[in-house]
Amino acid sequence: MPVPATLSTLSTQGHGFAVFPEVRICRVPNGKGFQHLLFGDYITPPKKSDGSYSRWGEDSTQEVNGETWLKVRSRQEEGWIRLSEIQTQRLLEVNFVDIGQGDGCHLVTPSDEHFIIDAGEGDNMYRFLRWRFNLSQSGGQLPKFTAIISHPDEDHYKGLNLLLAQPPANQKRQIRFDEVFHNTIIQRAGSTLGKSTSFNGVNYLSEFIDTQAKLVDVLGKDGAKSNYEKLLKGSLNTFPNLSIKGIWKDMGQETLIYDDPLLRLEVLAPIPETIEVDGVKQKALRWFADDVGKTKNGHSVVLAARIGKMKILLGGDLNSKSADYLMSRYSGKNVELVKKKIALSNDEQELVELRSELQEIINENRTYFQSEVAKACHHGSHDITNEFLQAVNPIATIISSGDEESFCHPRPETLGAIGKFSRGERPLIYSTELARSSPEYITLQTKNLKTDTVKQRIVSTYGMITLRTDGETAVIAQKLEKPRSSFGDITKWQIDKLIWNDERGEFISKK
């Protein structure tokens, strides 16, 4: 567990972070809180008149009723908080940004390295990051960034255009990307993704994953280009040394794209198979069922973030076919076949045995997929299996979806299934779409506030679901549509807490 900071450690480090689960800034020591901070919020000394930051010292502390209070700045406000409410340890922070219909996740490691895991289709992720890092202002070094594109659907990757292109003239600083990871598949106009390759009666994509992890080069009609390919190859104009890599999971091997003493990011999918074509062994991705979309989505990059005792699962747009496939690969048993036998059997004893076998497969897969927090696959689509939801077995699920879409995401039956197959008496289900409950853009008729500034504020506050954890405690929070006063203190966030329980050997949810 983090140890509260001392004045000496804070003075040396120059900043600190709010302790679990929340902190309030007061205008005077021991006063009422007027600014509401979340676990892990960044805290600095106050600013000087010239805009620079002062240093913490004796002139910024007061003793009140045996407690040391420290003058601070956080979330654009200055005031006083208890010294015991600051820690020096940075957390894992995962922001599920409200990017409308699609996925967009901003992950910050305890070592202050940043990942963008999908970026939606529009400019919401760009506006969020421009607000977060104040890119319109010059000065200050930005942290390292890595992009991960789960699969080539526009509502997952197209928002990276603004981040990987040359910045507009009114932007003073640019986020620097060192690496871009993707699931190796490109779909060009008119492409069928080439399901013509067959091996042992199973269809595969006709282009193979090579050892250099290059883009799978799938030609469409007349050699048509794809926006996805243009994005990835065009980004080299902005970042000449950018590394673009395909990622996948080889069974029996651990695949990590990030590994430090506190946090590991493990790749769980896509999983290629080794097939033989004209006597040559090749790594190939399986063709899933009835259309291009299910294959493209089904081979989404699936990530597991592990910190301490907590695991967070990010599953892209997995669907029923790919979920069955992954569970079969991880268990070594044919899930789809077992389910078909259950559906066809009229023998009670056989049904008992088959259901027991299916439960064993689910239990084996929990070793790999069970998570405390999971991002719902495909925006809460109905096209996911009950068995996979049981294997994930989360305490909390976050759904990223938008207002103006023709799929009715999240589906009612999916919400019911998520609740049914999650842990705890009252599982937590969050939605970026519901958390906002306001127009994505608000235009204010005022001379002193630019409309673009208002757009940034909507994306950065209302709609975003944020997770902060040190591996033993966590908060999941969403912004209230309207602040309220609680015993005189201002409350701006709805917060749910996850706390590790030694006796039960698991996290439990608390309000």
Tokens for 129?
Answer: 């990051």
C-alpha to C-alpha distance for 157 and 226, rounded to whole angstroms: 12
C-alpha to C-alpha distance for 488 and 232, rounded to whole angstroms: 51
Kindly give the pairing relationship between strand 280-284 and strand 273-277.
Answer: antiparallel
Site of tokens 């526009």: 154
Q: Where are the beta strands (DSSP E) in 19-137?
A: 22-26, 33-38, 42-43, 61-64, 67-74, 77-82, 86-87, 92-96, 104-108, 114-119
Give the model's pLDDT for residue 218: 38
Query: What kind and span of H or E run contains 274?
Result: strand 273-277
pLDDT in tens, 148-194: 999 988 888 899 988 988 888 888 888 999 999 998 887 766 666 66
Alpha helices per DSSP H over 53-197:
124-132, 154-157, 161-164
Give the model's pLDDT for residue 437: 54
Site of tokens 């690496």: 179
C-alpha to C-alpha distance for 230 and 205, rounded to whole angstroms: 21
Tokens for 349?
Answer: 């004893």
C-alpha to C-alpha distance for 401 and 407, rounded to whole angstroms: 10
Give the model's pLDDT for residue 195: 62
C-alpha to C-alpha distance for 486 and 398, rounded to whole angstroms: 27
C-alpha to C-alpha distance for 147 and 243, rounded to whole angstroms: 10
Tokens for 450?
Answer: 């630019």
Give the model's pLDDT for residue 213: 46
Tokens for 454?
Answer: 């208002």
Q: What is the DSSP string of 385-413?
A: -HHHHHHH--SEEEE---SS-SS-SSPHH
The secondary structure of residue 264, as a DSSP letter, is E
Bridge partners (DSSP) listed for residue 108: 93, 114
Give the model's pLDDT for residue 214: 47
Q: Which residue segments constitute the domains of the chain, with CATH numbers given?
A: 7-89+472-510 (no CATH), 92-167+174-436 (3.60.15.10)
CB 58 within 8 A of CB 431: no
CA 207 vs CA 159, 191, 365, 439, 468: distances in Å: 27, 12, 29, 43, 40
Q: Is 438 exposed, middle or buried (0-12, 13-18, 19+ CB in 10 A)?
A: exposed
Q: What is the DSSP string of 283-297?
A: EEPBP-TT-HHHHHH
What is the full per-residue pLDDT of the chain (511 aa) written as tens digits?
667 788 888 888 989 999 999 999 999 999 999 999 999 999 999 888 776 777 887 678 999 999 999 999 999 999 999 999 999 999 999 999 988 777 899 999 999 999 999 999 888 899 899 989 988 888 778 988 999 999 988 888 899 988 988 888 888 888 999 999 998 887 766 666 666 678 888 888 877 776 444 444 433 344 445 677 778 777 888 888 888 888 999 998 999 999 999 999 999 999 999 998 888 888 889 988 667 888 889 999 999 999 999 999 998 889 999 999 999 999 999 999 999 999 999 999 999 999 999 999 999 999 999 999 999 886 667 789 999 999 999 999 998 766 565 556 576 888 888 899 999 889 999 988 765 655 555 555 554 555 555 555 555 555 789 999 999 999 999 988 888 998 889 999 999 999 999 999 999 988 7
Give the model's pLDDT for residue 446: 52
Give the model's pLDDT for residue 101: 75
C-alpha to C-alpha distance for 227 and 269, rounded to whole angstroms: 24
Q: How many CB atoms lie within 10 A of CB 67?
A: 13
Q: Is 6 exposed, middle or buried (0-12, 13-18, 19+ CB in 10 A)?
A: middle
